[in-house]
């Protein structure tokens, strides 16, 4: 069965620059009869109508006949030429070609070009091609899908990684299956949809979560000397998690001893403890923290050290010349000090003198004098003196620190990340000045 068909294509509309257009295959190959309509508007330029019947040859001018002339016209393949022309022309081409193109050069004005064609198509009876019904083994040719736009823009199905959402963006909705109880929807390795519960929450599985014997999320605390078993976590609104530590002594500090719950803020003494948490297996599962019990690591406490630390600014030694002591670093978290100046030997001349200073530094480069102990002379007896640096009451007035403090004076509000001792020794002239002393301290 033969069915007629027509085809139309707009090539250019008011084209005002030189251009070349390739005609679609439906015009070149499937329409044995075609008409090219050319509308000029003040147009100066040329147009070549080209075609070829084989990809092995180049495009060349084809024969055409000018329509609407009232008398028979001879076919021509010549280049069409216009000079400041405004008119409408139709050219008939009565041959099929593999490819066709229009080559236009323009020097002035504009041109509009439309192409139409017609022919007959033979359709096999009963093939159901007219409505594209299922017909196994029948090739319908190339199919262009133009409604799916590739890319990552607002109207594209694709979206770029990390791109921000904008209202109206187009995408494909991911559907999930509503199931009150999660269940397998396929064999291992199959594609499967997501599952949500009755409230729309996605079914997930928790992994490596430690549970107690009542299947509730919990942490079990065990004390030394107590049989291993579940014990409730202790807390209240005043202190949050409280640690059961009895007396502040090393003898009871190796476990959570005693029956009382003592807030850390009420502990007496100067011993500091830290909690030690370990996960131990009960023989089958990793399910809870176990206490240290009789031996072994577990949940308990460990003595860290006494409150504060000792510092040595100058070891005990006989000194005969002025010098700076070695800086003690790492004091950034300390802000209260007691410094002891311990003079043990000063048995020289009465004219010999010793001045001992304590300096602090904020940056390790610039040193500020915080204390200047009373000057010692060569005939002084052994003695001990101390100074306290405590910035808890610094006062409201500035303190000039470009010079050392006066002998016997302390600037208690000074502290820093580093501290050193410094001493100045003056010999009266007999070259026998010698002072034996040490400078130590305690920092908290």
pLDDT at 301 over 50: no
Q: Which residues are within 8 A (CB) of 45 and not within 5 positions of it... i.e. 6 or more apart?
A: 18, 81, 82, 104, 105, 106, 107, 108, 109, 111
Give the pLDDT of residue 214: 47
Reported as a single tens digit per residue, the pLDDT across 107-127 is 999 999 999 988 776 665 554
Residues 6+ apart with CB under 8 A from 99: 22, 23, 28, 51, 52, 55, 59
Asked if residue 141 belongs to a domain, the reply is no
- Structural domain tally of the chain? 3
Residue 244 has pLDDT above 50, yes or no: no
Res. 12 pLDDT band, cuts 50 70 90: very high
Kindly state whether residues 360 and 302 are assigned to the same domain.
no
Which of 246, 280, 306 is the last residue before a domain boundary?
A: 306
Residue numbers of the domain that contains 92? 2-122
* Contact assessment for residue 293 and residue 300, using Cβ atoms and an 8 Å cutoff: no
Q: For residue 133, tell me if it sits in a domain.
A: no
Sign of the torsion formed by the C-alpha atoms of 303, 307, 308 and 312: negative
pLDDT digits (tens, 9 = 90+) for 161-181: 788 888 888 777 788 999 999
Q: Do 324 and 297 fall into the same domain? A: no
CA nearest to 357, candidates 401, 398, 308, 399:
401
Q: Looking at 163-177, 182-196, 240-254, 380-394, which range is the least confident one?
A: 240-254
pLDDT at 376: 96
Convert 237-256 to b/e letters by CB count within 10 Å (16 or more is b): eeeeebbbbbebeeeebebb
Cα–Cα nearest to 110, from 27, 34, 47: 47
pLDDT for the residue numbered 98: 85
Residues 277 and 345 in one domain: no
CA angle 193, 196, 199 (to 5 degrees): 160
Q: Is the torsion defined by CA of 164, 166, 170, 176 positive or negative?
A: positive
Residue 45 has pLDDT above 90, yes or no: yes
Residues of the chain with pLDDT > 90: what percent?
42
Mean pLDDT for the stretch of residues 53-58 = 88
**b/e sequence 33-52, b meaning 16+ C-beta within 10 Å:** ebbbbbbbeebbbebbbbbb
CA distance linking residue 65 with residue 77, whole number of Å: 9
Query: What CATH number does residue 108 fall under?
Result: 2.60.120
Cβ distance 443 to 331 under 8 Å?
Answer: yes
Residue 356, number of CB atoms within 10 A of its CB: 27
C-alpha of 82 from chain center: 66
Is pLDDT above 50 for 102? Answer: yes
Phi first, then psi, for residue 252 (nearest 5°) are: -110, 10
C-alpha Rg value of the chain to the nearest Å: 50
| Distance spanning both ends of the chain, measured CA to CA | 106
275 plus 316 within the same structural domain: no
Q: Are residues 397 and 288 in the same domain?
A: no
Residue 273, CA distances (Å) to 219, 276, 317, 404 in order: 20, 9, 36, 40
Report the C-alpha gap between 352 and 377 in whole angstroms: 5
Q: Residue 274 above 90 pLDDT?
A: no
Q: Is residue 198 part of a domain?
A: yes
Domain edge (last residue) among 280, 306, 332: 306
Residue 273 and residue 330 in one domain: no
Gap between the Cα atoms of 80 and 32, Å rounded: 22
Which DSSP string do the residues of 237-269 spell out, in sequence order?
Answer: TTTEE-----SSSGGGTTTT-SS----GGG--S
- Same domain for 365 and 297? no
Q: Are residues 367 and 439 in the same domain?
A: yes
Per-residue confidence (pLDDT) for residue 259, from 0 to 100:
32
Answer yes or no: do 256 and 322 share one domain.
no
Helix (H, G, I), strand (E, B) or coil at 156: coil
Q: Could you give the CA distance from residue 435 to residue 349 in angstroms, rounded to a whole number? A: 11
**Range 286-306 average pLDDT:** 41
Say how far apart CA 385 and CA 141 lie, in whole Å: 106
Question: Between 71 and 318, where is the model more confident?
Answer: 318
Q: Are 375 and 354 in contact (CB under 8 A)?
A: yes
374 φ/ψ angles, rounded to the nearest 5 degrees: -55, 135
In a domain, 135, yes or no: no
Output the average pLDDT for the chain.
Answer: 77
Q: pLDDT value at position 167?
A: 83
Q: At which of 271, 306, 341 does a domain end? A: 306
At residue 164, the pLDDT reads 85
Residue 238 is predicted with a pLDDT of 30
Instruction: Look at residue 428 and tell me if it is in a domain.
Output: yes
pLDDT at 212: 47
């Amino acid at each position: 069965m033969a069915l007629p068909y027509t085809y139309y294509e707009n090539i250019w509309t008011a084209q005002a620059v030189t251009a070349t257009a390739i005609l679609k295959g439906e015009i070149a190959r499937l329409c044995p009869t075609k008409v090219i309509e050319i509308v000029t508007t003040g147009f100066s330029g040329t147009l070549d109508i080209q075609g070829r019947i084989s990809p092995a040859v180049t495009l060349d001018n084809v024969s055409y006949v000018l329509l609407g002339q009232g008398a028979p016209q001879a076919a021509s393949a010549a280049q069409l030429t216009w000079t400041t022309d405004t008119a409408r022309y139709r050219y008939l081409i009565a041959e099929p070609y593999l490819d066709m193109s229009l080559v236009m050069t323009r020097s002035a004005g504009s041109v509009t070009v439309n192409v139409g064609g017609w022919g007959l198509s033979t359709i096999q009876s009963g093939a159901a091609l007219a409505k594209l019904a299922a017909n196994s083994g029948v090739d319908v040719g190339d199919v262009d899908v133009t409604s799916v736009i590739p890319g990552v823009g607002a109207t594209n199905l694709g979206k770029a990684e990390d791109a921000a959402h904008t209202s109206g963006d187009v995408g494909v909705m991911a559907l999930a299956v509503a199931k009150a109880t999660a269940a397998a929807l396929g064999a291992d390795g199959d594609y499967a949809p997501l599952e949500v519960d009755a409230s729309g929450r996605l079914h997930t599985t928790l992994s490596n979560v430690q549970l107690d014997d009542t299947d509730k999320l919990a942490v079990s605390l065990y004390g030394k000397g107590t049989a291993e078993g579940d014990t409730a976590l202790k807390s209240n609104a005043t202190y949050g998690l409280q640690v059961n530590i009895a007396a502040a002594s090393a003898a009871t500090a190796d476990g959570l001893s005693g029956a009382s719950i003592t807030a850390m803020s009420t502990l007496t003494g100067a011993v500091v403890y830290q909690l030690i948490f370990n996960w131990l297996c009960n023989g089958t599962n990793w399910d809870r923290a176990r206490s240290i019990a009789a031996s072994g690591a577990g949940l308990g406490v460990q003595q860290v050290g006494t409150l504060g630390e000792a510092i040595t600014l100058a070891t005990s030694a006989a000194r005969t010349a002025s010098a700076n002591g070695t800086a003690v670093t790492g004091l950034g978290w300390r802000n209260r000090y007691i410094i002891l100046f311990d003079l043990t030997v000063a048995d020289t001349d009465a004219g010999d003198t010793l001045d001992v200073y304590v300096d602090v530094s904020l940056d390790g480069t610039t040193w500020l004098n915080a204390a200047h102990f009373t000057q010692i002379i060569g005939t002084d007896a052994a003695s001990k003196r101390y100074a306290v640096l405590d910035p808890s009451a610094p006062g409201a007035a500035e303190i000039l620190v470009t010079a050392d403090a006066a002998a016997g004076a302390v600037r208690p509000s000074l502290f820093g990340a580093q501290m050193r001792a410094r001493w100045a020794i003056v010999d009266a002239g007999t070259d026998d000045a010698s002072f034996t002393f040490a400078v130590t301290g305690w920092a908290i």
